[in-house]
Structure 1
Amino acid sequence: MTATADLQPELEAGLDALGIDRAHAPRLLAYLALLARWNATYNLTAVRDPREMVTRHLLDSLSFHAFVPDGALVDIGTGPGLPGIPLAIVRPGVDVTLVESNGKKTRFMRQALRELGLANARVAESRAESLPRSGAFGCLVARALGTLAELVRVGGHLIAPGGRLLAMKGRHPDDEIAALPEGWQVAAAHRLAVPGLDAERHLVVLTRLNDRTNQDQ
């Protein structure tokens, strides 16, 4: 297995391409090393090669960092902390709540937060629809978790007035956009470039209709 230290040049090149300070590389690699170690026993992710994790987990999670506002962010269905933990590492002004119902994944994340010393992140062991924090977050992010309509259904209540839902998708999800529930709209859709990944990625930004705070943004 590739030693994570050997991956630093590759990660740093990816961070450069995304406009992220290379100083975050050691902490990101520490998270990756811990994920790879736990994954060998607990099967936290289907991606097992650390080199592939750099692209498919770290850089993919960070590809939309520029669209994430400072403040309270909730990452629903985060699994082992993706994209929330990489975002918390590179964006200290973001206060991240990691929502996951799988016990082995929440145990891993709590250990990762302790080892990484991430004071701006916390774990909520819960299903998103059951989290009792209505309107508490200015931003909700979700990566590879259901359709846009499903994201609104399970997480829409968590978003504050003027807040945004950031959904990471592969191809531009025209069918999902057409099926959005009443009261929600697409504020923007951005094609993302993930260094080292030859696949489509899009970020779809949803807001509530008639939300004046989000008009013209």
Structure 2
Amino acid sequence: MHLFFQELKQGSQKLGLTLSDDALQLLLKYQDALVLWNKAYNLTAIREPKEMLIKHLLDSLSVLPHLPEGRILDIGTGGGMPGMIIALCQPERQCVLLDSNGKKIRFLKQFIADLKLQNVIAVQTRVENEDTIRELGQFDVITSRAFASLTDFVTASEPYMHSNTQICAMKGVVPTEELEVLKSSYSSQIVELHVPHLNEQRHLIVLKKI
């Protein structure tokens, strides 16, 4: 059994999730691959596996109970957070992971190939690329954990949206001023997240076009 299996299982249960042992093992395989590739490719500033478990796996898992259904686009996915973690836990959901960083997308493509994952693809491109927008089409849910600015994230998301698309932005502190700017165009729901062993504020901002 994996060194962190019980810790991940208990952490996911505290988040209100009931993940199968297979899903937990997949998540730990992903973390092991991230640790390995990180030594050569510098995919994430977090290097300690225990810290990765909390700040990457559990942090990303915290949004799962609050995500709307449907095809998902993870913009600025980096090493795959939260998009790959969503894909591993919800094999019935189609997921597209998008990033302009070649090293990070190479890692994700290799992991997808090694595990023969059917519900997730990784795409190296800039989010505003018009060919990409045409090829990928529209999504039901658009996520991001990496965007510094909520308003920039909304602008980047809009070409990929249909009338019922929901934007789900992972944030630390609630970006009150940016929500004020967006309120004439978007309704917002703020979900407070409690990540086990993480003593920092976490929120999910869910936006829908008015």
TM-score, normalised by the number of residues in structure 2: 0.92
User: Which residue is equivalent to 1:180?
Assistant: 182
Displacement over 4 Å in runs of 4+: none
User: Which residue is equivalent to 2:14?
Assistant: 17
Deviations, residues 33-53 of structure 1 (Å, cap 9, x unaligned): 000000001000000000100
Q: Report whether the alignment pairs 1:164 with 2:162.
A: no
**Aligned equivalents of 2:45, 2:175: Cα separation in 1:** 24
Q: How many residues align?
A: 205
Percent of paired sites with the same residue: 37
SS of the residue corresponding to residue 179 of structure 1 reads helix
Letter in 2 for 1:195: P
Alignment of 1:125-164 (within 5 A): 125-130=124-129, 131-133=132-134, 136-164=138-166
**Cα distance, 1:93 vs structure 2:** 2.2
**Cα distance, 1:26 vs structure 2:** 0.7
User: Which residue is equivalent to 1:100?
Assistant: 99
**Aligned equivalents of 2:46, 2:59: Cα separation in 1:** 13
Q: Which runs of 5+ in 1 are unaligned?
A: 210-217
**Aligned equivalents of 2:120, 2:137: Cα separation in 1:** 18
Please say if residues 16 and 22 of structure 1, whose CA atoms lie closer than 8 Å, have aligned partners that are also in contact.
Answer: no
User: Which residue is equivalent to 2:46?
Assistant: 47
Please say if residues 190 and 204 of structure 1, whose CA atoms lie closer than 8 Å, have aligned partners that are also in contact.
Answer: yes
Deviations, residues 79-129 of structure 1 (Å, cap 9, x unaligned): 011100110011122110000111111100001111223211001111112
What root-mean-square deviation, in Å, do the aligned CA atoms of Structure 1 and Structure 2 show? 1.6
Please say if residues 106 and 125 of structure 1, whose CA atoms lie closer than 8 Å, have aligned partners that are also in contact.
Answer: yes
**Aligned equivalents of 1:62, 1:17: Cα separation in 2:** 11
Q: Which runs of 5+ in 2 are unaligned?
A: none
**Aligned equivalents of 1:206, 1:94: Cα separation in 2:** 20
Please say if residues 143 and 167 of structure 1, whose CA atoms lie closer than 8 Å, have aligned partners that are also in contact.
Answer: yes
Please say if residues 174 and 203 of structure 2, whose CA atoms lie closer than 8 Å, have aligned partners that are also in contact.
Answer: yes
Please say if residues 135 and 160 of structure 1, whose CA atoms lie closer than 8 Å, have aligned partners that are also in contact.
Answer: no
With 51-60 and 156-165 compared, the bigger mean Cα shift is at 156-165
User: Which residue is equivalent to 2:56?
Assistant: 57
**Aligned equivalents of 1:191, 1:117: Cα separation in 2:** 34
**Aligned equivalents of 2:108, 2:194: Cα separation in 1:** 27
**Cα distance, 1:181 vs structure 2:** 7.5
**Cα distance, 1:153 vs structure 2:** 1.1
Please say if residues 12 and 22 of structure 1, whose CA atoms lie closer than 8 Å, have aligned partners that are also in contact.
Answer: no
Please say if residues 133 and 159 of structure 2, whose CA atoms lie closer than 8 Å, have aligned partners that are also in contact.
Answer: no
SS of the residue corresponding to residue 94 of structure 1 reads coil
SS of the residue corresponding to residue 71 of structure 1 reads coil
User: Which residue is equivalent to 2:5?
Assistant: 8
**Aligned equivalents of 2:108, 2:85: Cα separation in 1:** 12
Letter in 2 for 1:77: G
SS of the residue corresponding to residue 178 of structure 1 reads helix
